[in-house]
Copies of this chain bind each other. A is one copy, B any other.
């Protein structure tokens, strides 16, 4: 319940997440190469959107506790594992991510695959180890996280995305891909914050709607940045989706249509916050932040 601005909150808690993430791996008793590979990708300087989203929902309801960082970091580990596996030669075959060589370029493919597996597994362990949280709530988090990140969520979206490569897909198919590949985990971030923050059932329903619009907003902005963004700021070449013949919102709807859709989802996300009684300063801030981000 910090009464600080969105920017102050993000700066403060991004630092806290960045500090804690490697510690949750560093204390593991495992081969050095595996530990280094896991920490390398966690260090790779992401925006930490998912853990910050989770923490901001909690902070809208109660003070953030040390234990909450386990859930926040678990979520970032799932996201990081998915990037390591996505970058593999058999998948997107990317040599760089955020301006740094990808995991398999540094540690080799075998260790990269296993580092991803290790991060995925560690994330469930971290939730099981949360203090001051009932076992019922932990089981709910694990159930929802496995659904959001597994075959019915992120992994399923990734397969659909692979299958769509080089084909022209409908807007419906594109939304299926994004709702699963990125939307499900963004939704989980919001809902996990709601479960941990003891939000009422009515407010959870509103937050679920909010999270769905926010997820699409995030992805449409990503597609727009891929065309219009500054390569250096993004750490990858602008136009790289285009080059891979991937379907994107600007491709399907033209740039004007994509921007109209962006604003539509921003409006809907904000509208879903109106009937929520808790302080929504941080959540409003997230909508602006995603709309205006440059990388």
Contacts and interface: CB of A to CB of B under 8 A. Distances in A.
Interface in A130-185: 134-136, 138-139, 142-143, 146-147, 149-152, 155-156, 158-160, 162-163
Contacts of A75: none
A33 B163 contact: yes
Contact of A146 (B34, B38, B125): B125
A128 B117 contact: no
How many monomers of this chain does the complex have? 2
Nearest to A111: B159
A141 B91 CA distance: 33
A31 B38 CA distance: 29
Interface in A209-240: none
Interface size for chain A: under 10, 10 to 19, 20 to 34, or 35 or more residues?
Answer: 35 or more
A200 interface: no
B114 A142 contact: no
Interface string A16-45: 000000000100111101110010000000
B151 A124 contact: no
A113 B88 contact: yes
A120 interface: yes
A92 to B, nearest CB: 9
Nearest to A156: B30
A156 B31 contact: yes
A162 B34 CA distance: 11
A79 interface: no
Contact of A162 (B85, B111, B128, B134): B111
Nearest to A140: B128
Given A122-B150, A138-B139, A142-B142, A155 B114 contact: yes
